[in-house]
Every structure is written in structure tokens, then in C-alpha cells.
Chains A and B, each alone.
Chain A
Amino acid sequence: MSGQGQVSFRNIVKLHGQFAALKNVNFDIKPGEFFALLGPSGSGKSTTLRILAGLDAPTTGRVMIDDKDVTSTDARDRDIAMVFQSYALYPHMTVAENIAFPLEMAKLPKSEIAPAVKDAARKVKIDHLLDRKPGQLSGGQQQRCALARAIVRKARLFLLDEPLSNLDAKLRLETRAELKKLQRSLGVTAVYVTHDQEEAMTLADRMAVFMSGEIQQVGTPAEVFARPNSIDIAGFIGNPPMNLVPARYVDGDVIIAGHRLKTTATTAVERDVVVGLRPGALRMTEGGLGARVDLIEDLGDTAVLDLDCAGTMIRMRVADGNIPGEGDTISITARPQDIHLFDPATRMRL
């Protein structure tokens, strides 16, 4: 390994004509970290990854790797390995030749290439498929082949652009776990692009949440989940995501649909706010906010209720044992510390 894989983005802007795909992006990745770039489609995640890889140049700003400015360094000289969403396997080469290609380009002697290829293939469990062509592999096997080609070179940075999105749900879960183990055992810095918040939450040590070309929050998954910075992030993280309800803040209380709830969040004056409530933080109680159960989605161990609170839709997660019936009227509440306040104008946390 020629470096530790420390990354800094400094004021990166990327314009496509008039359109700003990235508007002043800043973040730092520590060596050995599993760092996720999370955001909805079109928010600029792939653009960020491609700029880091050197496949695209930023319009302005600096990219630093291991404290060196690599903004104008060629992709092939950055010592970065990448797994593409399409895998980009070389169709005319066998699996073994695919995996060997980066080593050949690095002019390693043949005697070292063969064992390295075997080793990488074994790590991703495709060592029995080395003689096949990519066209003869299943989707999951192709994905592993792409992984093997990326890890064989022991690059300082390991970039993955939605590597699991072409797999079926079950395989995605399995591969997700293996990917994390693999990254741990290699000790390499990984940058992982996904639009699936669950994937980011489970895989990442830290993550950056992208919204229309900007990073709105950087932090551990737990931090982002516990204290989302903005209405957009609050509505994006969690399954189902936070309820966002217009309300009025009055002196330590919020008034939702005529009902007062205590909150620990404070703001200076009486004002309109947007209240964020996690579906899992809501509980049934006596004398709380009245709600009619419109729909029940039973997930087996838990259920998600769609509630109608005087015209406002609120979703609530309840444990298996105490599911009310559809059409029932219930009464709900939340602890003061579980009530998040956002500014409806700036959309940021108060």
C-alpha cells in the first residue's frame, strides 16, 4: 500500500453548462474508514466519486489524497480501485485474466500474478470460476469478479458505486455483510455510493448525506439518524422515515392538530415549525393526540400504522402484540426528547 487513503474534498464545484451538479462540496475521510455517500437519485454522489477517482475534473476546488493535491493527477496514477455499478468486466477475458489485468498493468512478474489472482478470487469465493468468461457468470458472480479485480491490487482507496443494486434482495443482504467483513480484513479505505439509506446505515462508519448537489450532513449513521440536520434528511433516513408535521411552537410546547406536546428542543420565539417524529418513537397513551387508524402494514415482528390526525398523515411503528384494528381511534404521544424541530423556511434543524 503506497498510502493510507486519507481523502479531503475542498470546495468542489462541478458545473455541467449552467447546471451545478455539485455546489461547494467539502468532506474528509479518515484512513481505513468505510465512508458512504448517501443521497437520492441525481444528488451528485456518482459525480463526487468520479471526481475522486479522477475520471472527471471538478470545475473548481481541490481534491487531496494523503495530503497531496491530486486534482490534476491522471486516474491511473492515483492508486485507486473502483467497482462500477455495471461491473465493467472485460467480456473477452476470463475471470482470471480480468482479475490479473491491474497487476499486469503494474508490471508485476507472472510468478507473482497467479497466486495473487487465486488469493483475491478465494476472498470473494469465485476461485472455482477462474476459467469462465464474464458472460457465463450470474449477476452475483460478476459482482464478485469485479470486487476481486478491485481488491487484487491493494490500492490505497477502494471506490464502490452502488455495487449491490443489480443483485436480488437476498443476495444483496448477504453480500452487504461480506463486503463489510472484507473491508475490515483488508483495512483499506472504502468510499461507497448508495441511494439506499439502510445500506449506508449498516455498512458505513461515517456517511455524507447529499441533497441536490450539496452535502447536508456528515456523521456516523447513529448521529445522522438521531439528529438529522434538515427536513430533507429527516424525510430520507429511516424506514419509514420521520413524520414531518406542520405545527406551532409555543413556549416549550408544540401544538399539533390542536394537541400540545412537550419538547426539549427550544426556539426563541413563538413561531411556525415543522415537527419531526420518528415512527418508532410514537407510543399509544391515554389523553394524547387523537388519531384514526387508516391502514395497517404488518411486517411480521412489527407493524406500521398510517394514522389520520385531524387531516395530517402520521406513520407509527408498533410492536407485534398491541396492534389496533383498522378504523379504530387511538391516542398517541412522544417523549419530549424525541420531538425534532425544523424551520419551514430554511428547512434546517432549529
Chain B
Amino acid sequence: MTAKRLRVFALLAISMIFLLAWAFPILWSVLNSLKTDSDVLAYPPKLVFAPTWEAYRDVLFGSGSILPNLLSSVIISVGTTIVTMLMAVPAAYALARLRFRGKKFAGFYVLATQMLPPVGIIIPYFLVLRNIGWIDTYQGIILIYLSFSLPFAIWLLVSYFEDIPFEMEEAAYLDGASRLKTLWRIIIPQVRGGIAVTVVFVFLNAWNEFLFAVVLSGNTVRPVTVAMFNFVSVEQTLWAKLAAVSVLAMLPVVVLGVVAQKHIVKGLTVGAVKGGGRR
């Protein structure tokens, strides 16, 4: 009895350590976002302090409001996600199902694009966008994001499509459904877990992207990741504001995670057990 208790206690302690390590940056951001700039820099760090919304008020409604940047991020991320999914779902279906010349090569190519180090292609991308006049435009950034998210999404989705037995589709054809109807009514409902997982990943990648955004954006299109950088300069870092923006930028991600959680867990565990594909 006591041995069992001890084990539970040990497990609990270990979990707490992991949780703390994982949660520390978030806790740090939340705490600092509620401090004044002088409290942030106090040494030793204050755990007890008078919380203030000042940092939030400043970053949201002050002179350098990040509201337009949040909007920029939303447009970029949502746009990237929608376009990616519209193209990735049919493409993944085709890769999983249809037999065509060069299918193996297409599959490899999709994966190979994921192997390039991003830094290596920033300059070419910049030059291409500048030549077509798409620097600092939504379509420009979304186009560049697509070049990463699309292969990734296709690659992720293909395995979900491949899990659906071919006979299911043939049954639908014999039942009088067209290929498109079959895709829409029979296939997609069964891969919705995979689609949810993909949407979350694509959205997150676009939302958190910094490297390309900082090079390819400008004054009109400036996502929140880039705007955040304004709070860091050579002379000083505005820690409280930086923390407040981080917390704000985290919110949509958290909301998306909670909404999609049910599907994600399903999407991740389907196929893990025998008959797991059934719903």
C-alpha cells in the first residue's frame, strides 16, 4: 500500500517538474505582462507585486498599437490555411488513390521540399517577390507560406486518405455517387480528424512564422511576430509590453487548440488500435 502510494507520489513529482519546465515560459510571460517595467527588472524577481493592465493597454490602444498587426496575422494565417486546405485535400486524395505516371516522384518531391533549410531560400524568394512587386503584400506572404505549408499538409493528409479502404469508394460509386460526391460525402467525413490536425499545424506555422515575415513584409503587412520585435532594441527591451503581446498572440492558438482538441486526439489515435478507424 505505502509502496504504491510512494510510486504515485514519485510519478506526480516527476510530472510536476515536466509541467513546470513546459509552463515556465508561459507563466513568465503572463506574470511579466502584468508588471510595470521597473517591477520586471527588479532583482531578485518579485513574485508578489501589484498587477497592472498598463502593458496591455499600451500595446492595444497606445501609439504603437499592435491591433493592426494582429489583424495582419489573422489574415495571413487564415488565408494560408484556407488556400492550403483547398489545394492539399484534393492533392492528397489524388496521391493516395489515383495511379498516374510519376506518382512516386511527386511524393518524393513533396517531401524533399521540406528538407531545404529555410534560410537558404530567403534571398531567392525575396528577389522573386520583388520582381513581381509582391513584397509587403498579403498575396506575397501567403504565396511564400504556401510553398511550405502545402507540401507539409499534403504529406500529412495522404496517410489519412490511405487508411480508407478502396472498397468503400467503390461501394459509393456503385451506389450512384460521382467521384466528387464520394470525396465529399464518404471520404472527407472519415478523414476529418486528419483535416483538423492539419489545419491546426498549418495555422500555427503561419501564425508563428517570423523569419520570412521579417524579410518579406513591410509597413502595410506586418504580422504580430514582426511587430513584437519592435519592443526589442539596442538600448532597451520593453519586457512588459513584449510579454503582453506574447500573451495576446498566444490566445488564438489556445482557442484553436481547445476547439480542435476532440478532433486532434481522434486524428492522432486513429489506427493506433485495431478497429480504431471506426467511428
Which residues on A are within 8 Å of B, measured CB to CB?
A: 53, 55, 74-76, 80-82, 84, 86, 88, 90-92, 101-102, 105-106, 133-135, 149, 153
Contact = CB atoms under 8 A, between A and B. Distances in A.
- Most-contacted residue by chain A among B165, B168, B173 (CB, 10 A): B173
Contact of B190 (A74, A91, A106): A91
Contacts of A102: 175-176
A76 B167 contact: no
B168 A88 contact: yes
B170 A88 contact: yes
Contacts of A134: 278
Central interface residue in A86, A91, A133, by most chain B CB within 10 Å: A91
B23 interface: no
Interface in B155-188: 165, 167-168, 170-178, 181, 185-186
B177 A55 contact: no
B276 to A, nearest CB: 10
B263 to A, nearest CB: 13
B279 A88 contact: no
Interface string B249-276: 0000000000000000000000000010
B189 interface: yes
Contact of A149 (B165, B175, B190, B279): B175
A82 B169 CA distance: 12
Contacts of B178: 76
A75 B275 contact: no
Contacts of A149: 175
B277 interface: yes
A91 B174 contact: no
Nearest to B188: A92
Residue among A75, A76, A81, A86 with the most chain B CB within 10 A? A76
A254 B168 CA distance: 55
Interface residues of B, number: 21
Given A74-B173, A101-B177, A135-B275, 20 more contacts: A53-B174, A55-B174, A75-B173, A75-B174, A81-B174, A82-B171, A84-B167, A88-B165, A88-B168, A90-B186, A91-B277, A91-B279, A92-B279, A102-B176, A105-B177, A106-B176, A133-B278, A133-B279, A134-B278, A153-B176
Contacts of A75: 170, 173-174
Contacts of B174: 53, 55, 75-76, 80-82
Question: Across chains A and B, which 10 residue pairs bring their CB atoms closest together, nearest first?
Answer: A105-B176, A135-B278, A88-B171, A102-B175, A88-B167, A92-B189, A75-B173, A84-B167, A88-B168, A105-B177
A53 B172 CA distance: 12
Most buried by B among A101, A105, A106: A105
A106 B279 CA distance: 26
A101 B186 CA distance: 10
Given A91-B278, A92-B189, A134-B278, A76 B165 contact: no
A99 to B, nearest CB: 10
Contacts of B190: 91-92
Contact of A86 (B165, B181, B185): B165
Interface in B5-59: none
A135 B168 contact: no
26 contacts: A53-B174, A55-B173, A55-B174, A74-B173, A76-B178, A80-B174, A81-B175, A84-B170, A88-B167, A88-B170, A90-B172, A91-B277, A92-B189, A92-B279, A101-B172, A101-B177, A101-B185, A102-B175, A105-B175, A105-B177, A105-B181, A133-B278, A135-B275, A135-B278, A153-B175, A153-B176
A76 B177 contact: yes
A157 to B, nearest CB: 10
A133 B170 CA distance: 20
Contacts of A80: 174
A76 B176 contact: yes
Contact of A90 (B168, B176, B181): B168
Contacts of A88: 165, 167-168, 170-171
A24 B275 CA distance: 40
A55 B167 CA distance: 10
A134 B177 CA distance: 20
Contacts of B168: 88, 90
Given A91-B277, A91-B279, A101 B170 contact: no
B275 to A, nearest CB: 7
Contacts of B177: 76, 101, 105
A88 B277 CA distance: 13
Nearest to A91: B278
A53 B169 CA distance: 13
A90 B168 CA distance: 7
Nearest to A50: B170
A348 B154 CA distance: 56
A76 B275 contact: no
Contacts of A105: 175-177, 181
A267 B43 CA distance: 113
Question: Which of A53, A82, A90, A153 is the most central at the interface, judged by chain B CB atoms within 10 Å of its CB?
Answer: A90
A101 B279 contact: no
A80 B190 CA distance: 25
A92 B63 CA distance: 52
A144 to B, nearest CB: 15
Nearest to A149: B175
B179 to A, nearest CB: 9
B209 to A, nearest CB: 34
A109 to B, nearest CB: 16
B226 to A, nearest CB: 42
Contacts of B185: 101
Interface in B125-179: 165, 167-168, 170-178
